[in-house]
Structure 1
Amino acid sequence: MNGLKLHHITHRVTTPHQVTTPHQVTTLDDKTISLSTTQQVTTPQQVTTQQKLTTPQQVTTPQQVTTPQPLTTPQQVTTPQPLTTLDALNFNLLAHYSFEDNLNDVSGNGYDGDVVGSGVTYTQGPQGKAVQFNGNSRLYMEKFETYNFGSEFSFSLLLNCVPPTTGGIGFISNGFQNSGTWEVKIKSNGPFRISVFGPPPELTIDIADFRFNEWIHVVFTFGGKNSTVYINGVLADRVCCADFDSLGRGSGVTIGAFGTGHLDRDDGYFYGMMDEIKLYSTNLTADDAVELFNYYSPLTP
């Protein structure tokens, strides 16, 4: 063919990924040349997905699960009640004898009593039980031997007295006509008398119209050199101007007879009943006496 000479041409053709098989090419002079397309075979790269590195999280210990507590109903808040006169008086209460089949001091101050003599009995009174004396026994509160009654002192008691036939009788005292002592008594065929002893003159109150064989309420106060007596909430008498303004320490407190120093007489014992005896370390007022009387009324068993 006009001296045209065909050359063997080799092309390197790389087709990504596709690999072809070589083809035979026939020339005009019946010679066969090999025309091949050589594909570069590339090794597939491993495609990896780049993972995001994370910081390890701190592992926490699971918290203990507590069982919920049942709801409680709110408590009702009560408004404090104002103190009554009797509540206020209790702050100055030395001793309180209610005689509920015993001689205990229910104030909590420990001035309990003992029986001296053949004994006492308990009977119905205006406020529960009352103590009954039959003229042969007395009560003695020994702890008062170390107590100084000082410049203010009062007592309150419920009383039902049988008239004495001979001599006198004692109700309550911390001695007998000794300086610094006090005494409640009835003289033979005489008045109901309350005396406070110190340097002469003594303070003495006589109640001429004292009522026997019925329950009465008696309040006695001492303070500021004065003595005052209230019967059933009403002022009975007042005396003043003692030459002393303080009571000393006598003996223990005696109930149901003359006090220590006058127990050698057989006519000093009390006949009758007593109830709700209270001793105070303050000078009770007229309002206090009324309040106490109203609290115990009516004075019937």
Structure 2
Amino acid sequence: MVRPIITFILLALLVDLSYCQNLNGLLSGGSDENCVYIFTIPRGDEGSCPSLTEAAGSLTEASSPLSLLAYYPLDCDSKDHSDNGRHGANIGSALYSEDAKCGNSRFFNGASKIQVDAFNGFNWGQAFSVSVWIKRTGQAGNYQGVVNNGYYSTGSWEIRMGREDGGTMIGGGVVTSNSPRTWDYQITGRVLTLDEWHHVVMAYDGADGSLKYYIDGVERNGDESCCSGALLVKNTPLTIGQAGSGSSTEYFYGFIDEVKLFAETLTADDVSKLYNTPFLQDGLLSLCDEMYHSRLGDLIYGISLFDSNFFNESNSPCSLGVELTYRDNNMVIAFVDKRFMLVYLLTATLAIAFSSGTQCQPNNRKRLLACYPFDGDVKDHWKNNTGFLTGNEEYSDDSICGTSLHFDGATKITIDSFRNFTWGERFGVSVWFKRTGRRIPYQGIVNSGYYDAGCWEIRMGREYGGGFLGSGVVTEDSLRTWDYKAINAAMNEWHHIAMSYNGETGRLKVWLDGERQEGGINCCTGPIVVRNTPVTVGQAGQGKSTEYFYGFIDELRIFKKILTQRNVRKLYFRPCGNQ
């Protein structure tokens, strides 16, 4: 009998786990993240729900398909994260970056590579595929190996970039008994642009004599009928980031992420899934990935879950804290987590995390200093750092979430509880703003003092027609702010800015609308100075009597933590949800 499939939700609160630490060897999550893991299992003959033990027991099978030869997420190591244990060895610098498709990526500096000796003498067979994300950022005049088990005719297969078309050409192929060398595909026309992420897949079917090449989910033209039969067995290792055995040069310069090798021929549908949902790993989906939420867009906020007819606990056949119901003839399973005021909803095709209560309940809750949603007041909705408003108190529906506070060029908020505050070496601030008038004056958004009089600031200038934006911190070796400047945030539009400081590594980062900005990343080291200055919202702060903001400010959050790109994207793509 064919059993219908339902989807089950397992909630795991991961506390004090590093990004690279695995849960039960299968699941990984970021520090202090509240993650939901989704997988499918057969429903019982009577339509009954499985036990929690049965549900969890199916996880191992779902996460490790037989066709996956190796999986290198390159989040923090060169290990194989499949069950096969084909771990790589780093040769040269091992640098990891938040500029990634999932988690972190590996940065290759033109002199580093990963070598996997476990693939020496490997029998690849006649069904093989490789999937990889790449972002070439430099040395466009060189050929550069991406992933292979040997150079050109030395190995069994390769993906490699050339110097043609300004370094955008990419090629590859396989080696069989009737095809002694690679480069069955040479793709030109600047399809794979520099300084941008691209997804590359090569899929081989030796039984049908077919080799296909995909870039960004689209099948490309090449010698599809080049080869047949099994790939030749070569005593060469797998190499990532260099041309491989047979070449001592051609190192990659840029970022590589999510390398997967399969003992099967991926279909166009398989490739589409890998391209559109790179965070979906073999049937296992982590809802703590910000990319998933960003793809849902406005749909998240267009559905209401909280009517009495939707969840009917008395009629639920499950007794696991999970509620099962039907809506519009679709089976829906949801888990309600009252600790964080979250509802997790799942249908056959869509999974959503909703916030049902206060907006200021981040998972990194111990490191949130203050939260000001400006929904009818200037109170801190997290602790007790309530502000004092000077001027007109006017709230507006022109907002990001709820209401925003309108600043009329003579209004500001002063938060005295932050006087003499020890900001330390870990600091972050996130705020939404919309400047609507008075293009000529400089205008303070949020700070703890003006320029060199405070500890940090975010402020706008008159340049770019009033769209000029600057920010920075003050430390012992950086006596004034504006380490970042000349950022362009157009007037009369909502923008999100986030600033994060790590004094231990001497790194200051700024994002505008979810994108990293160029500026003085290495400006400063050590703790932010301590000053007897309040936090000011809507004006340049202590040390300046003018430079009031004109426009709207919303969703201000101040952190005693280093914001990662993952954090910032959540704050940008999910401004009204649980962060």
Q: Give the shorter-chain TM-score range.
A: 0.5 to 0.7
Retained in 2: the 8 A contact 1:178–1:198?
no
Partner amino acid, structure 2, of 1:145: R
CA change 1:188–1:182 in 2 (3 A) is same
Q: 2:364 aligns with which of 89, 105, 108?
A: 89
SS at match of 1:277: strand
CA change 1:244–1:96 in 2 (3 A) is same
- 1:154 Cα deviation after fit: 0.5
Aligned pairs for 1:154-193 within 5 A: 154-178=428-452, 181-189=455-463, 191-193=468-470
Tell me the distance in 1 between the aligned counterparts of 2:386 and 2:457. 20
Retained in 2: the 8 A contact 1:184–1:195?
yes
Q: 1:276 aligns with which of 527, 551, 555?
A: 555
Gapped regions of structure 2 (runs ≥ 5): 1-317, 323-334, 343-352, 354-360
Higher strand share: 2
- 1:206 Cα deviation after fit: 1.4
- 1:226 Cα deviation after fit: 1.7
Q: Name the residue aligned to 2:536.
A: 254
TM-score, normalised to structure 2, is 0.35
Of structures 1 and 2, the one with the larger relative CO (CA 8 A, separation 6+) is: 1
CA change 1:222–1:180 in 2 (3 A) is farther
Q: Name the residue aligned to 1:290.
A: 569
Tell me the distance in 1 between the aligned counterparts of 2:406 and 2:475. 31
CA change 1:87–1:198 in 2 (3 A) is closer
Q: Name the residue aligned to 1:123.
A: 396
TM-score, normalised to structure 1, is 0.66
Retained in 2: the 8 A contact 1:114–1:139?
yes
Retained in 2: the 8 A contact 1:180–1:247?
no
- 1:187 Cα deviation after fit: 2.4
Q: Name the residue aligned to 1:78.
A: 321
Retained in 1: the 8 A contact 2:508–2:524?
no
Q: Name the residue aligned to 1:101.
A: 376
Q: Name the residue aligned to 2:408.
A: 134
- 1:185 Cα deviation after fit: 0.9
Q: Name the residue aligned to 2:522.
A: 241
Tell me the distance in 2 between the aligned counterparts of 1:165 and 1:238. 23
Query: Which range moved further: 132-141 or 84-93?
Result: 84-93
- C-alpha distance after superposition, 1:197-246 (max 9, x if no partner): 23454451014322211111111111132211111211123523335311
Q: Name the residue aligned to 1:226.
A: 507
- C-alpha distance after superposition, 1:86-108 (max 9, x if no partner): 7423231100001111111101x
- C-alpha distance after superposition, 1:105-141 (max 9, x if no partner): 101x10001112x223000112011100000110001
Over aligned residue pairs, what C-alpha RMSD do you find? 2.8
Tell me the distance in 2 between the aligned counterparts of 1:183 and 1:119. 23
Gapped regions of structure 1 (runs ≥ 5): 1-74
Q: Name the residue aligned to 1:11.
A: none
- 1:77 Cα deviation after fit: 4.4
Tell me the distance in 2 between the aligned counterparts of 1:297 and 1:232. 15
Percent identity over the alignment is 19
Structure number, greater radius of gyration:
1
Retained in 2: the 8 A contact 1:226–1:238?
no
Q: Name the residue aligned to 1:28.
A: none
Retained in 1: the 8 A contact 2:507–2:524?
no
Retained in 1: the 8 A contact 2:461–2:469?
yes
